[in-house]
């Protein structure tokens, strides 16, 4: 797994959850977050945080299922879905 592998995948799929990226690249979440941050700093990827479907603010949902990354190639903002 390299930064280029991540870029190529994200260009293709446009949006992916952290858990799906972990499975695809067979990597732990912390390693992938660090690598994704490279592309976030460059303005190519934006991190999206999904609110719980129940409307609650307890945030007891596993963080891997609520953390998404979107290929944006230019804009730098955090979106709350």
Query: Residue 37 forms beta bridges with which residues?
Result: none
Element (H, E) at 65: helix 63-66
pLDDT of residue 67: 84
pLDDT of residue 54: 62
Report whether pLDDT(81) > 80.
Answer: no
pLDDT tens digits for 1-42?
899 999 999 999 999 999 899 999 999 999 999 999 999 999
Contact predicate 57/78, CB 8 Å: no
pLDDT of residue 53: 60
Average pLDDT for 36-58:
79
């Amino acid at each position: 797994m390299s930064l280029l592998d991540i870029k190529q995948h994200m260009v293709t799929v446009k949006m992916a959850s952290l858990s799906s990226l972990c499975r695809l690249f067979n990597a732990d979440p912390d390693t992938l977050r660090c690598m994704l941050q490279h592309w976030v700093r460059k303005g190519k990827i934006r991190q999206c945080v999904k609110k719980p479907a129940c409307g609650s603010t307890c945030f007891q949902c596993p963080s891997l299922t609520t953390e998404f990354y979107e290929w944006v190639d230019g804009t730098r903002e955090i979106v709350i879905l």
